[in-house]
Amino acid sequence: MPRGGEIIIDATRIMDSLLNREGGTFSDRPEDSGGPTKWGWTQSALSAVYRRDVSREEVQNLTRQEAHHLYLEERWQKTGIYLIASISMRIAVELLDTNVNLPPARAGEFLQRALNALNQGGSQYADIKVDGNLGPATRAALSAYLRRRGGEGETVLLELLNDQLGCYYLDRAEKRAANEFNFYGWILNRVVKEA
């Protein structure tokens, strides 16, 4: 099991990789329902984090260092993904990546749904509540699953997480025609990309 320092070092590397993929270009395209965005942070996401209305200019002026700090604090620590990292760094990276442009609980829900479907009718570990909370029950189920299935099982679980994400994006594109402008990029950068 990684010690705390290893997780922090890996988290820093993971945040840097995430920010490199997101890029620091400010975007505010009418077809993008996220609105003003920089480093993967939308105006509404920043407003939620800061608990106040964030201006377009504040999004435009968001620095890489600020975005890095926000991902580390809001998406890695507060969501509990850092605790998943002590069980499986690959799963933690996937959950973080999913959290970039989905509501934070959605990645946890994807994990919980997959673990429930993989527990062979509860014979391997108990079903867990699908609430997005990466608490002790979810972590215990993940640990039990990986003890039984090992690296191959980790790969299967990663595929299931990506499958759910792809279906989520497809649903968004079907429900809002303007999302079709983003659909290809979502699939390429979030589903096809290497975990």
| Partners of 37 in the β-ladder | 27, 42
CB of 80 within 8 A of CB of 147?
A: no
Q: What is the DSSP letter of 107?
A: H
Q: Give mean pLDDT, residues 133-150.
A: 97
- pLDDT band, residue 185 (cuts 50/70/90): confident
Tokens of 152: 């191959």
Amino acid at 54: V
Per-residue model confidence as pLDDT tens digits over 118-135: 999 999 999 999 999 999
pLDDT at 1 exceeding the cut of 50: no
Q: What is the DSSP letter of 62?
A: -
pTM for this one?
Answer: 0.88
User: What percent of the chain is modeled with pLDDT above 90?
Assistant: 74
| Partners of 21 in the β-ladder | none
CB atoms inside a 10 Å sphere around CB 46: 23
**Per-residue model confidence (pLDDT) at position 8:** 52
- pLDDT band, residue 140 (cuts 50/70/90): very high
| Residue keyed to tokens 């509860």 | 122
- DSSP code string of 45-64: HHHHHHTSPPPHHHHHT--H
Distance of CA 98 to the CA centre of its chain: 3
Amino acid at 191: V
